Chain A
Amino acid sequence: MFEPKIVCFVCKWCTSAGADLAGTSRLKYSPNGINLRFMCSSRVDPEHIMWAFRQGADGVLVGGCHPGDCHYQDGNYRTQTRMALLRRVLDQLGIESSRLRLEWISAAEGKKFAEVMDNFSEELRKKGPLSLASKEMTV
């Protein structure tokens, strides 16, 4: 069966802490994602996401603090804006924008992190691998 590869950009204060909580709670979820831990989701540059798709990711998850809870005041609002714009570009490039997910997962939401990972993995399994003409040409 096809197993999608997911790159997860998670902020240190909320989503990564939430993922840690999923661990300490011994919740089980699908091991398709690798977490890359940043200080804030606003560190994620759309280029990083494009790079991930190009390098073979089937999906990208960006996880930040809930609106109003950002450790850095309003970083998550910037992330939200950037992701909204990037989604438009993705569609135009032939990458379904649903392969990019933005989720607000707090440090208390271990369960939500596990659910998001399961749910996103399943969704990508159904979609199948991302095929990129550029990828075939460069790789």
Chain B
Amino acid sequence: MKRIGVFVCHCGINIANTVDVDRVVEELRKDPRITHAQSYIYMCSDPGQELVRDTIKNEKLDAVVVAACSPSLHELTFRQASAEAGLNPYQCEIANIREQCSWVHEDRERATAKAVKIIKSIVAKTYLNESLEPIRVPINRRAMVIGGGIAGIQASLDIANSGYEVVLVEREPSIGGHMAQLSETFPTLDCSQCILTPKMVEVGKHPRIKLMTYSEVEEVSGYVGNFTVKIRRKAPSVDWATCTGCGECMEKCPVKVPSEFNRGLDDRGAIYVPFPQAVPNKPVIDRDNCVYYRTGKCKLCESTCEVGSIRFDQEDEIVEEEVGAIVVATGYETLPLQRIAEYGGGEVPDVIDGLAFERLLSASGPTVGEVRRPSDGKVPKEVVFVQCAGSRDPERYQPYCSRICCMYTTKHAMLYKHRVHDGQPYIFYIDVRTGGKGYEEFYHRAEEEEGVVYLKGKVASIFRDGDQTVVWGTDSLAGRNVEIRADLVVLATAVVPGTGVQDLAKKLKIQTGENGFLNEAHPKLRPVESITAGFYLAGCGQSPRDIPDTVAQASGAASKVTALFSKDEMEQDPMIAAVDEDVCGGCRVCISVCPYDAREYDEEEEIAVVNEALCEGCGACVAACPCGATQQSNLTDRQILEMITASLGEE
């Protein structure tokens, strides 16, 4: 026979005014399942807690019910007090007779009767409670960061500087991401490369960061604290260990293909580094375009290389890394110009996107920072910037706001004006959104001091006419259509998730939303975590955002990782699903309802099992289990039925 003690709190007059506490105690004493019942004016006070501890010892109680305020306030207090008296903390339960009884009722008689029922329902549950231990999961204190843009760089540095090892995996030959392409950053106009490259170098040299560029995640298994990741290290066809990065091979390469880094505004060879400040600064051979791989002849690079680092026969390598947490920082792409047929569909040479314009503005770009249009190299005198090119257009393109375009277009127009003093920039916009520190001021500066003309309206069509590019749009404030014969048009194309993010998300078993961006666990309160434990999000892979927000989120994700790593093992709430192996028939309904992939099928035993590290204890699978094999610890079906019966009282 379990010995249960019930302690009823007066909460001063908060409970006692409406609930006749003495009568409650009197009623409880009649219940044969209750060994001890008493009241006290303030249970949560030190003497109150002392009373609980002493009674547990003196009465040799096996379980305790405290009838007081909401469990969200003092459940922890009384569980600790019980533990101090040698009781298993999960043998202590709270009956809420304040927020859900005394404070909301006026009829003393009925409130007292209700309080008794509330307490008895909790007693019924407690009677069947098991003594539980928190679930302990060991943690491998090593992190992986997927994506080497500014988000991945920041997260890697923060984690590594906290003393933990980091594996940084980047698909491209160099880290740096899109930020490396930018000329200057809004609203301060400081040089993007100048603030980014020191961080890139730090990553490259950091003793605790293992950098794997030109590599992709193939497969992930395990769970929080204990992941095993298979990574494909693509063959660069160059032995990076001996390569000095002198660049002779790139000069000799006869191939010319459009440079991805320069958005096709100039060419690179088949053997190349994406940009001069690349980390690591070692070339790769693009086998699709290399003359040797296509025809079997050439090898000019090999004959040029003084240290003999070219490896035509190098093969992809699969490596395995064990980590405890994974930061996903996969970044973004922009909607291809080809998708937007009404704006020329990529066929009009002087219609470019924002990243290409960044390259035109950049001192390290193909025009050395002079704004020259692609078609004939002329300096454009009239430049039209089109915002929301593919954003905020649920009918045909992306329904959401890409968030960064208003500010970068304003920056573009301003920088253009700084380069071409007699030039005229126009900006077509739906709304100018300036939510950020110093952003509104930046916009006003562009409009009032820098002579940028803002036109509120959509652009209907863009086409080439002679050497000009004609823009048809609407000036909705003036209420008329406008035609601008421009020399150059820059489209602020929509920010979309990076290519391959869907596949990666499937491999990681993390969720994406309807627009393909990665989903956070909670939009307000858990913005840097995935719903799947052990995965953290940073940067534009989650949704479009600017650099300050990206860096803040990356640091947030990193601090979540280091918080996880602050212990050798994780303690998880033990009130989770458990399977009775003798009853389970292996129907797998539970697997289909689990939002956390915590239910798995054991092929050998032919039963469904619970991954205790992943289970969050919602109970959805318990209710779904057709044979009752799955139960929730300390909230079993039997406990619930007893609670129901008790809550309905005697009569």
Chain A interface residues toward B at CB < 8 A: 3, 5, 7, 16-17, 19-20, 22-24, 26-29, 31, 34-40, 42-45, 47-48, 51-52, 55-57, 71-75, 78, 82, 114
Query: What is the number of residues of chain B that contact chain A, defined by CB distance less than 8 Å?
Result: 43
A-chain residues with CB within 8 Å of residue B593 when the two chains form the complex: 42, 78
Most buried by B among A19, A72, A75: A72
B-chain residues with CB within 8 Å of residue A82 when the two chains form the complex: 623
Q: Pick the residue among A17, A35, A40 that contacts B72 (CB under 8 A).
A: A17
Q: Pick the residue among A7, A27, A40, A71 that contacts B648 (CB under 8 A).
A: A7
A31 to B110, CA, bound (A): 7
A-chain residues with CB within 8 Å of residue B113 when the two chains form the complex: 31
B-chain residues with CB within 8 Å of residue A78 when the two chains form the complex: 593, 620, 623-624
A65 to B342, CA, bound (A): 44
A37 to B148, CA, bound (A): 45
A-chain residues with CB within 8 Å of residue B172 when the two chains form the complex: none
Structural contact, B641 and A72, CB atoms closer than 8 A: no
* CB-CB nearest in chain A for B103: A23
A102 to B85, CA, bound (A): 41
Is residue B435 within 8 Å, beta carbon to beta carbon, of the partner chain? no
Q: Pick the residue among B96, B105, B617, B648 that contacts A35 (CB under 8 A).
A: B96
Q: Pick the residue among B118, B619, B635, B645 that contacts A42 (CB under 8 A).
A: B619
Chain B interface residues toward A at CB < 8 A: 70-72, 96, 98-101, 103-107, 110-111, 113-114, 117-118, 121, 531, 575, 593, 595, 616-620, 622-624, 632, 635, 637, 640-641, 643-645, 647-649
Structural contact, A19 and B648, CB atoms closer than 8 A: no
A-chain residues with CB within 8 Å of residue B121 when the two chains form the complex: 34, 36
Extra contacts, 12 of them, besides A7-B648, A34-B121, A78-B620 (Cβ < 8 A), are A5-B648, A27-B104, A31-B104, A34-B117, A35-B96, A37-B71, A42-B619, A43-B620, A57-B644, A71-B618, A72-B618, A82-B623
Structural contact, A24 and B640, CB atoms closer than 8 A: no
Structural contact, A5 and B649, CB atoms closer than 8 A: yes
B-chain residues with CB within 8 Å of residue A52 when the two chains form the complex: 644, 648
Q: Pick the residue among A16, A26, A37, A40 that contacts B618 (CB under 8 A).
A: A40
A35 to B125, CA, bound (A): 13
**With contact pairs A29-B104, A34-B118 given, residues A42 and B637 touching in the complex (Cβ less than 8 Å):** no
Most buried by A among B100, B595, B640: B100
B-chain residues with CB within 8 Å of residue A44 when the two chains form the complex: 623
Q: Pick the residue among A17, A24, A47, A72 that contacts B620 (CB under 8 A).
A: A72
A-chain residues with CB within 8 Å of residue B575 when the two chains form the complex: 39
**With contact pairs A5-B649, A28-B105, A43-B635 given, residues A23 and B70 touching in the complex (Cβ less than 8 Å):** yes
Structural contact, A24 and B622, CB atoms closer than 8 A: no
